[in-house]
Structures are given as structure tokens and as C-alpha cells.
Structure 1
Amino acid sequence: MSHWIGTANHGFASLAMEELRRFVNGIKFTQLIAGEVFKMEVPLSREELLDLLQKNEPVFLRHIQHIERALPIQGSADDLQALSDLVRHARSRVDNQTVAVHLRRVEKTPFMYSAADTKSVLDAVLMEVGAETVMQSPDVILSIFAGAEELYVGWGTPAEQLSDWPGGAVRFQREEGQISRAKFKLLEAERAFKLYFETYRQAVDIGAAPGGWTQLLLERGLRVTSIDPANLHPSLSAYPRLTVMKKNASDVNFPSGTFDLLVCDMSWSPMQMAKLVLEKTDALSDGATAIITLKLMHKKPLQTIRDVVAKLESAFELKKAKQLFHNRDEITLYLVKK
């Protein structure tokens, strides 16, 4: 038996729990933050569940934290003392490791310290026991969730927690001249799927307007063909590596093997999107990558995902399907042409 905290995008916790029920018989849930964060009682050991999730990562589970200790909240300095003592007893786990401290909380927790204050105190203790404290890309994460009555505390690697961000909430800083927030989706997809866009040669962006995804790919040095009957942002005209086709994608054809990357972020029917992408398969080189957002427009999103993936698998291998933090009513698919 083990206990965990799971997190999904707001409004999608029920789907994350449904996926987990399909993986784990007898799993039990308790809501912590409505529609987003939940506690899990799992009839498996820590290692058994982690192994299962590494092999079958759920689409809608954004972050997971093992609960190693549940400390009663006193609402006083005793809470920080209890956390400090816990860290001191973990010396062997963190010695010579880089460690990040993540604190999340329910709205009305009696835990009285901010994330910054908690981190400041625990960082000092971590350095005392031989760890190096960092903000990003740690070896180990100390995760603390301040509930209504208890502090739920656990250690894990970024891979074990499915993210190196608190609760999987990936944050990017908006840049001057950024065309749209949609750019964040593609940035997060690059991180989540361990891609390096600068290693690609030529991309096609289907449904590109206003051009957030096109902008990122151009910044990475790719040649980009952007297809959309709507206008792209005027700033993109400064890139000589950009070809703009103001047409519907269904009306455009390319020579075989033209592109090694296809991206598509269209607000369109999932099956119509799949049909359109499949029509462009011949224009992709063997082994080409496709990054596609799948809009969840219907009442049965899990069935929609299965149907669309089944259709796309006639030409692509699905590498991963994930609801990223920057996805709203959608998920992102990472595929490779067969």
C-alpha cells in the first residue's frame, strides 16, 4: 500500500482518475482541490506504481507526489521545525545531490508560511546536510503539499514526479515581440517530449495563424512553410526562411519527403484534423516528427483520443499523448512517421 497526491489540469482530475482506475484495481481517491488535485490510496508499493506509470503514463495525470510522511499542521513555527527535522534525517538521500523544494497548498490551510519562506528555511537545512539547492533541473525534489490538516511530504526525482515544476505547472516568461501564448504550448511540448527543434531542417505548420508556433520554429533556425487562409503576424515577414501559403491545407500538395517536422494547432474537429494530417503524410520524410494538438470537443474525450490515435496509426507511431500544462480543452500528440 502507498499514498500519493495526483494533479491534473483544472477540470480534468476526473479523467486522470478514470485512467488510473484502468491501470490499478482498488485505487481510492480523495479530493484535495476541486477538479485538480487529489489524494490516492494505491494497493501497490511505491516502486510498483512508479514502474507502472513509467510504462503507461496517463494522458491527464500532470504530476504525482509520493506521500512518505503526513505531518499534523500546528499553525506555528513548529511546522517548519518538523520539516527541518525531516530533512536532517534524509541526509543520506540528498548528500552531494542537487535538490529543489516545492510547496503547494489548499486555499485555507493553517500552514502559515509562504513558499518562499519555507524554501529559504529548508534550503539552509539542505545545505547543512550536504545538498546543493537549485531552482531547476534538480536531481531530487522535496515536495510538500499543505492540506487542511496535514503536511504531505515526499521525495522524488523529476522523472518519478512526471515534472521538475511544482505540481507540473510549467511556467515560461512572455518575451517581447511574442505573437501569442500558443507558443508556450510548443515550448512545453519540446521539453515534455525531449525534442530539440534546432535539429530539424524543414517544417510545415498547418493552421498556422497568427503564427506563434511558426515564430518558435523560425527562431530555432528551421525553414518553415505556414499554411492558413488567415493572415500571419506582420513581424514574421522579416524571416527569409518562411514560406506563407494563404490557402486551406486540404488544397495544398508538396513533393514527397519535403518536411521532417509537421506541427498542427488547429481548432477543428478531431477526426477532420486527423484526416487532414494523413493527407500530408507523403510530404513527410520517413521518421519525420509530428506535434499535433487534439481538441476535446465531445463528451467522451478518452474515446475520442483512442479513435483519433487509431486513425493516425495507419501512418504514424504514437510516441506520447499528454495533456500539457498549457493545453486547455485539448491534449498534445507526439508522433513519428512510420
Structure 2
Amino acid sequence: MPESFHDDIDATARHWFIRQQGRALSAEEQRALTDWLAASPDHRTAWTRAEEDWQSLDRFRTDLSSELNKARHYRPRHHSSRYLKWAAAALVLIALPILYRASTGIPRHWQTATGERQHVTLADGSQLSLDTATRVTITQSWFQRLIQLQEGEIYLEVAPDWRPLQVTAADTRIRDIGTRFSVRDTPEKFTVQVEEGAVEIIRRDKHLVLHAGETVTRHPATDRWQLATVQGDIANWRQGILVFDQHRLPEVLQELARYHAVRFDLADPALGRKQISGRFRLDELDTTLRIIAETLNLNIEHPTPDRYLLSAAQKQ
């Protein structure tokens, strides 16, 4: 089994165990924990590891107390300091790895190939969807929840938690304020769209808060930010469709290429002014191209497996 999978299970086990130590679980939380433990023997094993880590600290605290008592009653005063130093050093050696793992978290890496989409349930219960050609690193610790988007697009339904959740992408931090939102970082543009709640965006001298139904886009070529209202649903790729509303043809073709690893060329640059609207299924490229050709009166040639050439159709 991959190491990263174990890391996620261990993080979930520690999350539940620490929560249980801090307060009594609600009936709903107890049911969720019971269901999680029953879902896989690996979950029960991870829970046992978390218990053993905690118990090892308890045992050592008991041993330390015993040794300190011995030092006080049976050793001269100048030896007491030696025992105290030994005990403190041993406690640090035992506790440090446990505390370090819990405080910093263990990074996990997820990646989708061209045309692939993936859904992940995080240790805190948040739901993360990855679009085509997307790479992320996820780190959850006692103190924070961090998602680093290296490229591609993600959609997040953030679970309530006292720890802040942040997404970093393109030198920008996006801080969740209880929400559902998407982040896209591709060579063409950087975009944040909010479906519910709000997010705070921080980048050097830029600081703004996006609310539900708002989107902001930054084009790397100009570094200009454009605030707008979301039209329709966001992250439609989760349902396997792309939606265009009066989008220029090059932009439509560029988006299709992200999912199919093909290249589109226009025989005449003037065709780039044409616009297209519609809903198209991601897994039906031939059908999508046929509709585009009929709508815009184009010819589409397929000279090589990874290349399409679009040209104006000859008038009859």
C-alpha cells in the first residue's frame, strides 16, 4: 500500500484521537468515528498507533515521576540534578517525533493526468476535486490545513474546523472563510470563483475578499486583476461538461486541449474572432468539434492523431 495512503489514515486517526482527548464527542461525531474505524482494518491499526503514541508519553511521565521521587529520597542533592537532566532529555527524545509530526503535518501529493479528474476526501472531512492535469500538495497538522496548488484547477467544499484552511497558488494565498470555491492556476490565467461563503485573497500589495457569486481573474501577461460576477455554476468539469457563453473560438479550443492532449490550429487568424456558446461533454470531443464546425461553418481536418486544423468552409 502506498506510503501516502498510510499518512492520510494516520493523520485522520490523530485528528479523531486528539479531538476525543480534548472534549467529549457529540453523538454525531461518535457515530462518524465508529463508522470510520469499521470501514477498514487499516483504520483500526492507525487508531492503535495513535493510542500507543499517547500511552508512551503517559508511561514515560509515570516513570519520570518515579525517578524524580527516587532522586529526591535516595540520592544526594548533586545527583538529583543529573537524574532530572536525564529524564528531561529522554522525554524530549520520546515526545519530539510525535509532536513534530502532529505540529507540522505530513505532506501528501495528488496528481491527475490529462483528461483525468479525481475526488478526494481530506482527513478533516473537506471535499476536494481535482481537474485535468492538476498537481496539489496537502498538509494537515494540529494547527493548520494547507493546500498548495502547483498547476491545474481544484474545487473545495471546506469542512468546519477551528484550524484555518489556506490554498497557495501563483504567489497568492487564498484563505477560506467557510465556503465552497474553486482555484485555477494555468499558464493562461489565474482564477478564483466562490460558490458559497467567502474567501480572502492575499498577494503582495493585493488584498480583497470575494463573496458568493463573485470571481476574480489575473492574466499573467498583464498581471491585471479583473473582478466579475459568476455566470452559472462553477467548476462544471466535475459533472464532465464544459460551458461556454459567447467565448472566442481560440479560448474554447484551448480549453478542450487541456482535456484531450491535442493541438488545434486555425488556418486563418481571422477565425479567432468567432464566438461559440453551448454545453459540451468532456468525453465527446468528436461530437463537440462537429457542433462547433456546423455552428461556425468550419471545416475540421485531422492530419495527425494529436493535431486538428480548422478552416472556413467553402461556400456552396
Normalised to the residue count of structure 1, the TM-score between the two structures is 0.27
Q: Greater strand percent: which structure? A: 2
Larger RCO of the pair (alpha carbons < 8 Å, separation 6+): 1
Which is higher, the Rg of structure 1 or of structure 2? 2
TM-score, normalised with respect to structure 2 = 0.28
More helix by share: 2
